[in-house]
Structures are given as C-alpha cells and as structure tokens.
Amino acid sequence: MRPPLENVLRNALVQNLELIEPGLRPVQFEEYPLPNAHGTRGSIDILARDRHQMWVVIELKRSRSSARQALHEVNKYTELLCREKNLAPDRIRAVIVAMPDDWEELLIAVSHAARDWSHDLRGYRLLLDNNGTPIGTERVELLPRAFEPRITPIHNLFFFVTEEQREQGWRIISKVADELGALDLLAADLDRVAEKHYIPAPFGLYLAIGRVNEELAAVDLLSGYDGPEPFADEHQAEYLALCEICNRLARNKLRGMNMESARPGLLKNLRDDPNWAIQGFRGTGAYDVTAAFEEQDLFRFLTGDERGDSQILYTGTASPQVASRWKAFRQEARQSLAGNHEWDSLVAGWLDEVGPKVGEGDVGLHVYNPCDLLQTIIHGWPDGLENLLPMVMGEAVPRHGLRHSVRGALCWNGRGMSLPDAVRLVYRDPLFLMSNMYAGAVWERDRELLDLLGLHYVLLEKIGPVGSRATVADEHRIWIHQDQGARVYSSDTDPRGYAQAYATIAADGEIVSIGQYLNRHSHEVELVAREYRAFTHGV
C-alpha cells in the first residue's frame, strides 16, 4: 500500500499525538510557520508541548527522498525557535516520524546526531492500517557509538630462543585472543642485532592489548580483577586478557622463553637502542591486516603517542573553539605529563589562560617527559643528550593579536649536592635502579634526585605580535609551580615579582638548563655514566 500524502498523514496525526507519546498536545493544528530575520524560512510540521511543558518539534516524512531532509529541518527549526521565540535550548526537543522502510536511510545519520546534539532527538516508525490511517508508532532504537578498538596501555614483552619459537608463541596468543572474544591485539617483532651473547632469548615480541568489546568478550574477561596493577583499574578486562595470554604461554612450557612487563613508551626506547631492531608488526582482530596502516601508524599505536598514553612523548594541536577536540587535546597532554606534577600543573595553567585568547586560532604542544634523568645520562652522555632531555614546546597562535610561545625547562638553581652523591643516595646501586625500572617506580626516585640536585621544572613564556620576529619589546613570563599551584610572573606587569621568580630558578643570575648543567659537571656525569652503563648494558 502506498502511504497517503504527507499533509493527509500530518492532519491525522496532529489530532491524536498520543500515538507518538502520552501527554503530547499540539500548539496549533496547522503547520507552525517560522519567518525570521536571517533569510531562512519554513514551517514546522507539528509543534507540540509534552507533559513536562517542553516544546517538541515533530517532523513527519513519508518517503525515503524526503527523509534525507529530516535532520536539516529539525536543526533549522530548533535553532529558529531559540532565536525567534527566545526559548532556552534545554526546553526544546525534536522528534522525527517516518515510515518503517525509511529508517534504513535515517538510522545512521539520526543516531550520530542524537549522540552529539544539544537537544533531545528521538525517532519513531509510523504504523498505518490498511486504509493508510495512523494507528500507532514504534520508538526507534538508535545505534550506540561505534566501538573503537584502540590500543590500551596494557603491554607485555616476550622473549623467545628462536624465530620458530616466536611463531609458535604467536599462534598460541592468536588462539587465546579468538577464544576470549575477537580480542584486538597489536605486536612488534624485535630482534637482538648486537651483543647477542648477553641475551639467551634474542627474539622479542612486544604485545599490546586493544580495548575489549564487552558485547563480544568472554564472560571471564568481565569479572575477576582483584588489582591494583598499573593502568589496570581503567582497563580491567584488558589486563585479565593479558594474564590469560601469559598463563597459556607459561603452560605450554616454551623452552627458554621469558616475559617482562612493559608500558607505553618502552618500545620507543628499544627502537633507539642500537642492540635491538624492529623487524615488523602483526596483529589480530582490527589489526589483523596491518597493511591497512603505515608502519609509523602502528608504531604510534604501540607507543601511545597519539593520545598521550606513552606518558613520555606527545605531539598534538587543537583549536579551543572545537570543544570536543580541545577537551581531548588537554587530556592527551596531561597523560603525557604523568609523574611530573610541576609541568602538569604549569601546562594546565598555561592552557587555561591561552585558550580564551586564541579564539579560532590554534594551540600546539610537543612534550617529551621521560622523568628519568639517570637513564638519560646512561644512554645519552656525552653525544646523544639532545634527543633524551625533557622538554615542552608550546605555541598559541590567534588569527590576529599576540602569539604566546612557551618553553618548558629543567633548570638548575645553583644549589644542591654533587651528582654522584645524589645518585648513590637515591639509587644506592645499579641493581636498585633495575628493580625500580621493572616496578615502574623510577619517576618517584627521579623526583628525589632532582630535589637533591637543585633542579626544577619551569615554563618560560614569550608574548609578541603574530607574524613578527622576537624583539626586546616582547613580554617575558615565568611560570613556577608553588604550593597553591601554577604562578605566573610577568616582566611587563610585575617586574619585581618577575625578578624574584627569575632569581629562584637561576644560578648566579643565569638560567642554567639541564643540558648546560650536565656539561658544567661533565667529570661527575662521566663517573656516573660509566658506573651504571657497565651494569645496565650487560643485562
């Protein structure tokens, strides 16, 4: 049966709006016109009030071609009601009523709009009798947000004696993933390429667990966690999945195989270690066909750089006017600063300030936050320090006005004990360093070491006109973390406070960065590097 004309259906439906929802009543029985001063015009099919006295915009569609206009029209009419009738947005709802078959066209688009729209949006299938008269409606169940199988911070390292053993291990891991419910895994093959005699199992597999889709997961994954473990409180099912994988591999008794816990960011260290090389990537579930991604994508997934999960390295940009991205950008930046309370507080304070000033412009951040000065010395001294020292670089660039550039620095205040004495006091010996590395507690020891050395994290900001070079007229500011949080001192508005802040972070009137500090104390740094490098490189 061909549905009646839309105006016929509208006239029948407006007489009996309770077919849609109990308590609905029409504002008027004719279409509701909305002329306005902005050039657009139109008429709401049915404007109604519900039992909570909200205004309800009802759009009726009788064919697939007209259904495609539904979202455009409810968007337009709700906005016009706000503007022309001075109605609060939280007092307006929208309803789309369409024929059952037309929801094949509408379902995805309406589901997306309903999740992100500020107004309540619902859909109904219109039911007709043999004469084409409305006899009822069925509420449409909108689609939930699509599941995103992104990589979580639940990682592990496996070491095998031979390549064949690694392949056997991967087959076991893949089987477990399938049994647990289409588990999404991503892994990198690592081979020991130098100093192989130190390593009895030179074929590594770096494994990361993707988010568990609870609708597909085995029941055992959704209960049983008795933590706490790093990251596991937020990723309990994923942690239990890794436990099952490790248990299954252990039961298979692969000769000489061993396992080590891992965390986002470790793979980057292994890639930069000349003794190891990444030979390729493999995966299951969403990452089964890794050819869909470039190698740099897979590497960033595993290091967590895209979302700040690595808690070490992050690069990202956002506009404060795009609210959803700005919120995610700030969260990603904060995750990358985990373990560094000073920079965490200072960067948050800086973003709070520049966000409203940038408007439609852009904010960018680059963060490298290892929280491990001793490892920087071990692996970077003397020629490789530049890429291993902590840094924050930020730019806030409006379309017009003043550009804010910020640089994070680890500065020496000219006080503190000698480097070898401080290292021995905090770490005692190289074995204690290794135990802290495996326990994931190095960042806590690092904070103790920095305090003993007189090193503190600060932000140095420069403000000048967009598009111009730096001049002596630019405003300079110092951001310092104090007990009450971030404090900023300006050379323009508070020159005395700026001078005092400068003195607290400077050594003899000069700001000394961590790189300059290490070079000034090169003899001490060399002693520490030799002692700890001999042990850690031999393990």
Q: Tell me: do 86 and 176 sit in the same domain.
A: no
Cβ neighbours of residue 397 closer than 8 Å, sequence gap 6 or more: 358, 361, 362, 363, 403, 466
Distances in whole angstroms, Cα of residue 167 to Cα of each of 107, 279, 465? 44, 13, 58
Six token digits for residue 374:
């001793």
Alpha carbon 238 to chain centroid, angstroms: 17
pLDDT more than 90, % of the chain: 46
In the three-class reduction of DSSP (H, G, I as helix; E, B as strand; rest coil), residue 314 is classed as strand
pLDDT digits (tens, 9 = 90+) for 133-167: 899 999 999 988 877 778 888 899 999 999 999 99
Write down which residue in 91, 112, 139 finishes a domain. 139
C-alpha closest to that of 371 among 278, 477, 234, 263: 263
Rounded Cα–Cα distance for residues 333 and 336 (Å): 5
Judge whether 160 lies within some domain: yes
Judge whether 1 lies within some domain: no
* E strand intervals along 427-474: 455-465
Q: Tell me: do 376 and 486 sit in the same domain.
A: yes
The CA-to-CA distance between both ends of the chain, in Å, stands at 79
H or E segment to which residue 311 belongs: none
Write down which residue in 284, 302, 320 finishes a domain. 302
Judge whether 236 lies within some domain: yes
CA diameter of the chain: 96
Six token digits for residue 20:
């849609």
Helices 522-536 and 430-439 sit at what angle, rounded to 10 degrees? 70
Distances in whole angstroms, Cα of residue 93 to Cα of each of 47, 74, 115, 150, 319? 10, 9, 14, 34, 29
Q: Tell me: do 319 and 275 sit in the same domain.
A: no
pLDDT digits (tens, 9 = 90+) for 342-366: 999 999 999 999 999 998 899 999 9
Parent domain of 99: 6-139
Q: Tell me: do 336 and 482 sit in the same domain.
A: yes
* E strand intervals along 203-333: 203-210, 258-262, 276-284, 313-318
Judge whether 211 lies within some domain: yes
Top mean pLDDT of 30-44, 262-276, 317-331 is at 317-331
Per-residue model confidence (pLDDT) at position 536 = 54
Q: Tell me: do 28 and 92 sit in the same domain.
A: yes
Judge whether 145 lies within some domain: no
Domain count of the fold of the chain: 3
Judge whether 349 lies within some domain: yes
Cβ–Cβ under 8 Å, residues 280 and 189: yes
Choice between 382 and 537, residue whose per-residue pLDDT is larger? 382
| 94 residue type, one letter | A
Six token digits for residue 387:
């890429």
CATH number at residue 182: 3.40.1310
pLDDT digits (tens, 9 = 90+) for 438-468: 556 788 899 999 999 999 999 999 999 887 7
Q: Tell me: do 401 and 472 sit in the same domain.
A: yes
Over range 185-201, report the average pLDDT.
89
Q: Tell me: do 134 and 202 sit in the same domain.
A: no
Q: Tell me: do 13 and 128 sit in the same domain.
A: yes
> ∠60-61-65 over CA atoms, to 5°?
155
Cβ neighbours of residue 176 closer than 8 Å, sequence gap 6 or more: 183, 241, 244, 245, 248
Q: Tell me: do 164 and 236 sit in the same domain.
A: yes
pLDDT surpasses 70 at 340:
yes
Write down which residue in 255, 282, 302 finishes a domain. 302
Per-residue model confidence (pLDDT) at position 537 = 46
In the three-class reduction of DSSP (H, G, I as helix; E, B as strand; rest coil), residue 193 is classed as coil
Q: Tell me: do 380 and 272 sit in the same domain.
A: no
Six token digits for residue 329:
């950008």
Q: Tell me: do 187 and 125 sit in the same domain.
A: no
Per-residue DSSP letter, 493 = T
Strand-pairing partners, residue 213, are none
In the three-class reduction of DSSP (H, G, I as helix; E, B as strand; rest coil), residue 367 is classed as strand
Rounded Cα–Cα distance for residues 358 and 356 (Å): 6
Per-residue model confidence (pLDDT) at position 439 = 57
Q: Tell me: do 328 and 285 sit in the same domain.
A: no
Choice between 198 and 290, residue whose per-residue pLDDT is larger? 198
Per-residue model confidence (pLDDT) at position 403 = 94
Q: How confident is the model at residue 308 (pLDDT cuts 50, 70, 90)?
A: very low
Other Cβ atoms less than 10 A from the Cβ of 530: the count is 11
Judge whether 474 lies within some domain: yes
Say if pTM beats, i.e. exceeds, 0.85.
no
Cβ–Cβ under 8 Å, residues 258 and 160: no
pLDDT surpasses 80 at 109:
yes
Six token digits for residue 442:
């190095």
Judge whether 144 lies within some domain: no
Q: How confident is the model at residue 266 (pLDDT cuts 50, 70, 90)?
A: confident
Cβ neighbours of residue 57 closer than 8 Å, sequence gap 6 or more: 44, 47, 74, 77, 78, 81, 92, 93, 94, 95
CATH number at residue 58: 3.40.1350.10
Per-residue model confidence (pLDDT) at position 138 = 95
Cβ–Cβ under 8 Å, residues 325 and 342: no
Distances in whole angstroms, Cα of residue 126 to Cα of each of 50, 122, 135, 528? 19, 13, 8, 77
pLDDT digits (tens, 9 = 90+) for 398-408: 988 899 999 99
